[in-house]
Structure 1
Amino acid sequence: MTARPTWAGRNYLLLTGATAIANIGSSGAHIATAFAVLGAGGSATDVGLVATARTTPLVLFLLIGGALADRLPRHRVMVAANTLSCVSQGLFALLVLAGEPQLWQMALLAALGGTGQAFFAPASEGMVLASVSGEQAGRAFAVFRMGMNGANIGGAALGGALVAAVGPGWVLAVDSAAFALAAALRAFLDVSGVAARTPGGGMLHDLRDGWREVASRTWLWAVVVQFAIVNALIVAAEAVYGPLVAEEHLGGARPWGLALAAFGAGTVGGALLMTRIKPRRILLTGALCVFPLALPSAALAVPLPAAGLAVVMFGTGIAIEIFAVTWMMALHQEIPEEKFSRVSSYDWFGSLIGVPVATALAGPVQDLIGRTTALWGCSALIALLTGAVLCVGDVRRLVRRDPATNGPPLPSDPPATPSSDAPCAPPTTHPT
């Protein structure tokens, strides 16, 4: 039996295990929620309304959640947020199993789940960043995200099968139980080595302090602004235009589902790759890997056959996961530990703020200029924004430093070779 890697400490293992368990449940619950609404006689618009009910409090409370997680013990915030999600999903399950749930009831419970996620996400990211140290931090982040992404893929497949076999109510009940188990694991996190935090001058003071951390680093706010637009364009292309292209040109939902599965498999492959390599210029490497995000929109604009689209999505999944790991490495290296969660909340906020606007405008834009032109526009904007970020000197110059001294940059690494601290198998993937 291979000894546990030195970078896989107790907190790291608990966080990774809890995230995998919760993400398996949540991935299936996203499918179950949609079918619960449809099963109650709802329309596609009603499905969108319930999704919006979850997203709105997630955006509204993210910054508050980040400030709170830097004032209180992060593991307590995570456990409380998981408990709220457990209760909301449990009530949702009971509502569906009892029969004839009302739209407003489902929207309210979805909003409670979104509120829990808003407080959980910044605390979780801060806890993950604080759970690893040393030169192997990049590998630890890669394995964590590999487990998170693997759980998302498996959870979606299992959830879809269970919805068909036993109905959405039981899948929602499984999600509630998964949140309960994840909360229990996170309650055992060891925070004895974390220095007690002294509250500052109030919540607004903490929010301003977090913003100063973001605004003082050109590389940080440049990437956050980039992804505020890039994420919106990707969601508009893949959530609105993608299913329409699949229905009209690719043969329906099945090939589209396979393309999305290929993307998920690519993210696992990207995380696995990042366990073996340690780029010296971490942000330059990550930023270059954002260019491939322009390819799915272009593939849909052509449109490529289903097999070609799947290949593009697989490559895009690898690229975005390399970016995600290098981004975590940059935050871990450059942001003071006591401010991780506030910075993370601004990162999350920027990533989500444009999504509702983009999905609302996708239809009217298609009517105005045509779907093909809109897709080519998404692709071109993603490439232009990425090129603009690469013009930022701090993005090109940020390098991996010696973690022991936070001193000079580490030299470029030799080709990766197997080592005793390499995981013998990938564990089972943004945390829930």
Structure 2
Amino acid sequence: MPISMPKSLSALRERPYQLLWTARSISALGNALIPVTVVFAILRSGGSALDVGTVLTCHAVGQVAMLPVGGVWADRLSRKLVLMATDAIQAVCYGLLAVMIFLHQAAVWQFAVTYTIAGMAMAFFTPASRAVLPELIGSEHLQPANALLGLTDSTTKVLGPALAALLLAVSSPGTAILVNAVSFLLSFVLVSRMHLHRQAQRSEKQHFFADLRDGWQAVAERRWYLANLLCWGVWNFAIAFFFVLGPVVMQDGHGGATAWSVIMITGSVGSIVGGLAALHYRPRRPLVVTNAAAMLGILPLALLAPPAPLFVIALGVAVAFVMTSLVGEVLATTQQQLFPEEILARVSSLDWMISLIAMPAGYAAAAPVAHFLGMRTTLLVAAAVIGTPCLLLNLSPGVRSVQRLPDGTIGIVGEPETTTPAETAPLASTVPVPTETPGPSTP
């Protein structure tokens, strides 16, 4: 007798999605080894802290700079082929880097070049992986499909550093980097076997910048949606203050590194719980609910300001991270259903670009602002910056007009606050967004 599958796992019944989910799970676990491994690989190769910062910056800049390009080409080409190409490029990059480490020939500039190219490949992968989902499964399975992918990412972020530490203890950094290269190779093989149920309609070929303009104009014409993206950019900017100033507060007589580790672990557990919740929870007004839930991001910052007892801070962080994971998957599904499939990758690339710029900017601003205003005031101001835009945004008629329809899909009900052609045009015929909004981000 066949075993029935829970509705929350219904997306896994679809063979193409099974292959994508398995490929993403393998490559995500391999890639989760890299943040820890690359740092120690650079240091063991004779590099300095400045070298580490330079390499990490190169990766981030390469990704942000190429996101608009990646969005355009993921809408122009087969998204399956884009995913295969990004897997192949990253497998080669990390494979070459591992070989150089094994041969003791790795220099800082080689780390910078290979890590930059890998970041550029991610800029193509991220919008393509979001936009390909409607081509794999039916609209009724899109939120569980997003939630399963988000849950995988959250879980690998917990397991990856632990596995990296184990590999570094028993071998060289080259081993962990080689494992990552193999993970992308396996992902390439799985994606190559993925047969799309249908191919999304492609726009007529035109100049690259015209394609780029059309995608971003679709967002700009829905002013309430653009305001929502910018609101989440502000959210990511402000939450970065928590990650920079939190360890400083803990170090100042409140438990030090051990206390901060406890807080981070509870946050990771919260992310997993939020991913599980996203398998089931389908709010009637997605943007209203996500903006209201986003105000829980106040908790980590506000609780650090006194600071509260460790267990209270940890509980607040766990609650906030539950929200972060849940909101990210709801927003991803909403984005996939509000925009036509032929421009979805470009819309996703703008979403991710705002998030990727906002959080590093917050990292850079946190310490100078704290030095000028003081630690407690800075944390409280950052908490207000998180909560206020989210609260005000829910007053927008356009945000409230986004609702779940009787058939379970998401559409615009009634008249949004503007009546531009993009807003009055029909939505995508098939519907399936962040973590790459992606909505809120976590490092």
TM-score scaled by structure 1? 0.88
Amino acid at match of 1:347: D
Quick one: distance in 1 between partners of 2:240 and 2:48?
21
- Residue equivalent to 1:92: 97
What is the aligned counterpart of 2:382 among 369, 378, 382? 378
- Residue equivalent to 2:118: 113
What is the aligned counterpart of 1:337 among 341, 352, 366? 341
Quick one: distance in 1 between partners of 2:410 and 2:321?
31
Contact 1:282 1:329 in 2 (8 A): no
Quick one: distance in 2 between partners of 1:205 and 1:60?
18
Amino acid at match of 1:2: I
Shift of 1:65: 0.3
TM-score scaled by structure 2? 0.86
- Residue equivalent to 2:212: 207
Larger RCO: 1 or 2 (CA < 8 Å, sep 6+):
1
Alignment of structure 1 residues 12-411 onto 2, 5 Å: 12-99=17-104, 101-191=106-196, 193-195=198-200, 197-238=202-243, 240-403=244-407
Quick one: distance in 2 between partners of 1:114 and 1:86?
12
Shift of 1:14: 1.4
Q: 1:42 to 1:244 in 2, by over 3 A?
A: farther
- Residue equivalent to 2:429: none
> In the TM superposition, what whole-angstrom CA distance separates every residue of 1:372-422 from its partner, at most 9, and x where no partner exists?
32222211111112122222222223101244898897xxxxxxxxxxxxx
Moved more, 72-81 or 261-270: 261-270
Q: Does 1:7 align with 2:11?
A: yes
Shift of 1:25: 0.9
Shift of 1:74: 0.5
> In the TM superposition, what whole-angstrom CA distance separates every residue of 1:174-206 from its partner, at most 9, and x where no partner exists?
111111111211112213621563542121111
Quick one: distance in 2 between partners of 1:335 and 1:132?
17
Amino acid at match of 2:4: A
Q: 1:213 to 1:356 in 2, by over 3 A?
A: same
Amino acid at match of 1:242: G
Question: How many percent identity over aligned positions?
Answer: 31
Quick one: distance in 2 between partners of 1:214 and 1:134?
22
Aligned residue pair count: 411
Shift of 1:272: 1.2
- 5+ long unaligned stretches in structure 2: 414-434, 439-443
State the secondary structure of the residue aligned to 2:404. coil
Quick one: distance in 1 between partners of 2:44 and 2:177?
14
Moved more, 251-260 or 60-69: 251-260
Quick one: distance in 2 between partners of 1:73 and 1:329?
21
Q: 1:245 to 1:46 in 2, by over 3 A?
A: farther
Contact 1:82 1:183 in 2 (8 A): yes
State the secondary structure of the residue aligned to 1:290. helix
- 5+ long unaligned stretches in structure 1: 410-428
List 4+ stretches of structure 1 deviating above 6 A.
Answer: 404-409
State the secondary structure of the residue aligned to 1:20. helix
Moved more, 286-295 or 185-194: 185-194
Contact 1:21 1:151 in 2 (8 A): no
Moved more, 160-169 or 65-74: 160-169
Q: 1:97 to 1:372 in 2, by over 3 A?
A: farther
Q: 1:349 to 1:406 in 2, by over 3 A?
A: closer
